Every structure is written in structure tokens, then in C-alpha cells.
Amino acid sequence: MTDLTEVRAEVAAWLTQAWDPELSLAQWRARLADSGWACPTWPREWGGRGLPAAAAAVVAQEFERSGAVPAPEGVGMNLAGPTILEHGSDELKRRFLRPTVTGQISWCQLFSEPGAGSDLAGLQARAQRDGGEFIVSGQKVWNTSAHHADFGLLLARTDWDVPKHRGISYFVLPMRQAGVEVRPLRQMNGHASFNEVFLDRARIPAGNVIGDVDGGWTVALATLAHERRLAAFSRPPALRPPALRRAPPGTGRAVREAAAESERAMAPYRWYPQRAGRPDLVIERAVAAGRHADPLVRQEIVKLITLAWSARWTAQRAAAARALGRPPGPEGSVAKLASSNVARAAARVHALIAGPAGLLAGPDDPSGGTISEILLSVPAVSIAGGTDQIQRTILGERILGLPREPAADAGVPFRDVRRSG
Ligand SMILES: Cc1cc2nc3c(=O)[nH]c(=O)nc-3n(C[C@H](O)[C@H](O)[C@H](O)COP(=O)(O)OP(=O)(O)OC[C@H]3O[C@@H](n4cnc5c(N)ncnc54)[C@H](O)[C@@H]3O)c2cc1C
């Protein structure tokens, strides 16, 4: 078993010797990619260090402590990299892993369609082989980051004459081409973070299939498992005790360039902390509003904080189990459900504390609109990455062993399935 103390010492020593804030961001990321510390849990031959999941947290802490710029966040490192590692050909790994780690290329996820969200396997984007390429047409929706992505993780139907799960293929779609049109969607909280993506005879090299042609569902499940875990285990940073909060950013060229990159990339997602409900803010809000002596408010705050910390400990137990090499259990779905419950409970407590003032937005609101942004943003947590109802079905069927949900389309060729659109 890997000694995490040794890992900590090793990465700390490497950072002491290698971290140079005066490098350009590109130079630093190249050095980081060479070292394997950018993605310590990936295999050595593909740019990692072959360490267990628990080591990632230790490495991240050392990066935070030293102020060094880590690998880029987002769909690339979190979904594309792991999916290609697990199911991609060596050629795909060679082409895409390193540029993802260095931040030279960025990614989006093109799964959902207007008629295929919870029933993702009912998707209708179609891809047809044409010599050395596939030609793909259809519409995707809710695509985070699609407006600045170089490549998309795309699911499209390649066989209509088999049951729905068996005729799907998984592609790496080059986004910057004539057949791909990205249109932003404006949300009820005023931001525009997601997109519709229209595909009209877009072209994909045949070598860009991840896994087998028509075998994309298995690959999609791998991506979704990573996504669920990510959604469940990312916590609002401010839930951490103040002493553990991120060190103030340093100075130097790499730091400045990373900050500018992050500012550009994250601008549409400024509301993300609010969608988690901001349980960290309730006490200071209660004090500021003079509601902290109200027994009802106090009781609701305690219930919320208990829920938030229990969810956090569940996540930590899951991480510990993974570090011991145990197979993934129900924690992904449990923790994702818990994060929805925490967000909703926090929104309720904020509304209780703020009263009608919680409806004020922007400059009208002394809090800068944070509370109304929370109230309008938390529903996203219960939908993104699989709805609460779907998580409950997963838990019921796979963990509790309850009878499977009846499926009218089981075994029916997709062409003959009744569907809208
Ligand atoms: C913030 C956000 C970010 C997203 N980012 C992306 C992205 O980057 N890429 C991407 O491809 N997609 C993305 N999505 C889309 C997301 O995956 C879908 O919205 C989600 O899977 C739900 O699908 P739907 O919207 O079609 O709702 P539907 O599937 O139509 O569901 C509507 C309602 O019916 C319920 N329901 C549906 N089926 C069942 C059932 N069998 N049993 C019980 N209840 C059921 C649902 O729980 C829900 O309440 C994002 C969504 C959000 C909100």
C-alpha cells in the first residue's frame, strides 16, 4: 500500500525544486506534465505516477500550500482524460492526454439532447460512416463550456436497428468546424453558462471513436460515473474551516497567466458556489440580519450544518474506501443526492433569514444579490449530472436490489421505439 506521507514528502520536494512562478504558464504546465504530478493517479506510461485515488488529495494539498499552479480544471482533466484512459485506443491517448494536461486543448460534454436527458440512451443524434470519417447531425443541449471547447465528448447513434443501448458510439468531436454551431442559453439566474449545439453534417475522423463502434454506452457509463463522483464530492470551498482555506494567490508570470485563464474560462460560472446553497454563509447572514437569537432560525441552521457535515463525512468515508482499493459503492449516488438536499436546505434557511429582502437582486440588494442568486441557482444541483429521481432509481435497483423499473422499449430496435422529435 502506498505511504501517503512519502507521497507528500516527494511532491513537496519536487515543488520546492521545480515550481518557478516566473515561467510562462505554458512552460510551467509542460514541466508539470513531464513530472507526472499533474495527474498523479494516471498510469506512468500516460503521464501520471500510478498512485491510488487517496494520493490525489495529498498532492492537491501540497500544490495549494506551495501556491503552485495545478493542472487545468474542467471537463478535460475530470471526464475526457479518465474516459480516454479507460476506453480509448493508444492512438487517442497519445493525441489527447498530454495536451489536455497542459491545457493546450479544452473539452465539453455533448451527451444530453432535447428529448434525451434522464433517458440518455434514447438519444437521436446520428452518425454515419463515410470512408475514413463519420458524418454527424443532430442537436445537443445544456452543454457546459461548449462555447470555448476545442473538442466534445459526443454520443451519437450509429445503429438504429438494435435496442437503444446497443447502437450508440462515443466520439471525440472536433468543435472548431463548419458543421458545429454553438448557441448560448440564458438561465433564470441571469447567467449564460450552457449552450445548445447544433450539428449539421459535422465530420469526425474514424479514429476518434472511443471504445467500439456501437459500444459507446459502456464508455458513456464510465464518464457518467466520473461525473457523478465529481458532482457529489466537490464541496463549496468555504465549508472548510477558515484555517484550511486556499492560500492567497502568489505573484509571478505563471500565476498571473493562470489567473487570467481562469477568469476567462470561469466568467460564465461565477454563480457555481451559489448553486451549492452556500451553507457556509448562513451564520454570518443570521448575525448580520439580527436573526441569530431567533430559536426557529437557530434550529434550522443547526439542522443544515449537521446535514452538510454528515454529507462531507460520507464523502470522506468514500474517499477512504477508494484509497483502500475497495470497488466504488453507492456513495456516488448517495453523496450526489446529499448535495442536492444540502443545497435545497441551505436555500430554505437563507430565505428564512433574509425574508422578502432575499428576493432583491444586483445593486438593489445590500448583499450584492447573493441570496437571490442562491435561490435561483440551487435547482441546478438536482438536475445536472443526473436528476435526484434518477439517483434514487440507481440506488433502489443497484444497491437495494429492488425490481427494475419497467421499460417499454426493452429489446425493441430503436427505430421502432415510440419517441418524440
Ligand atoms: C447545470 C446543468 C449543467 C448541465 N451540463 C451538461 C453538460 O455539460 N453536458 C450534457 O450533455 N448535459 C448537461 N446537462 C443536462 C443534464 O444532464 C440533464 O438536464 C439531466 O440529465 C435531466 O434531463 P432533462 O433535462 O432532459 O430532464 P428529463 O429527463 O426530461 O426529466 C424531467 C423530470 O422527469 C423526471 N424523470 C425522468 N425520467 C424519470 C424516471 N425514469 N423516473 C422518475 N423520474 C423521472 C426527472 O427526474 C425530472 O424531474 C446539464 C444540466 C444542468 C441543469
- Whether 172 shows a pLDDT value over 80: the answer reads yes
Ligand 1 within 6 A of 137 CB?
A: no
Ligand 1 atom closest to the CA of 140, numbered from 1: 11
* pLDDT, position 176: 98
Report, as an integer, the average pLDDT of 335-363. 93
Average pLDDT of every residue of the chain: 90
Whole-structure pTM over 0.95, yes or no?
no
Residue 227 has pLDDT above 90, yes or no: no
Mutate to test the pocket of ligand 1, among 123, 140, 142, 145 (most ligand atoms within 8 A of CB): 142
The confidence score (pLDDT) of residue 399 equals 84
- CA dist 46 and 385 (Å) reads 27
* Ligand 1 within 6 A of CB of 109: yes
Q: What percentage of the chain exceeds 70 in pLDDT?
A: 93
pLDDT reported for residue 265: 81
Q: Kindly report the protein residue whose alpha carbon is nearest to atom 25 of ligand 1.
A: 117
**pLDDT at position 17 over 90:** yes
Beta bridge partners of 173: 152
State the pLDDT confidence band at 234, using cuts at 50, 70 and 90: low
Q: Say yes or no: CB of residue 268 within 6 Å of ligand 1.
A: no
CA dist., res. 141 & res. 261, Å (int): 25
**By alpha-carbon position, which residue is closest to atom 31 of ligand 1?**
118
The answer to whether the CB of 274 is under 6 A from ligand 1 is no
Q: What is the mean pLDDT of residues 228-238?
A: 54
Q: For ligand 1, is residue 187 a contact (CB within 6 Å)?
A: no
Say yes or no to pLDDT of 47 above 60: yes
pLDDT at 407: 87
Whether 395 is in the pocket of ligand 1, judged by its Cβ within 6 Å, is no
- Taking residues 172-185, report their average pLDDT: 97
Kindly tell me if the per-residue pLDDT of 235 is higher than 80: no
Q: Decide if pLDDT at 249 tops 70.
A: no
Top mutation candidate among 83, 111, 112, 199 for ligand 1, by most atoms within 8 Å of CB: 112
Is the model's pLDDT at 53 over the cut of 90?
no
Condensed to tens digits (0 to 9), the pLDDT of residues 118-149 reads: 999 999 999 999 999 999 999 999 998 899 99
Bridge partners, residue 108, by sequence: 152
Residue 250 — very low, low, confident or very high, per pLDDT cuts 50/70/90?
Answer: low
Q: Indicate if ligand 1 lies below 6 Å from the C-beta of 144.
A: yes
Q: Across residues 336-361, what is the average pLDDT?
A: 94
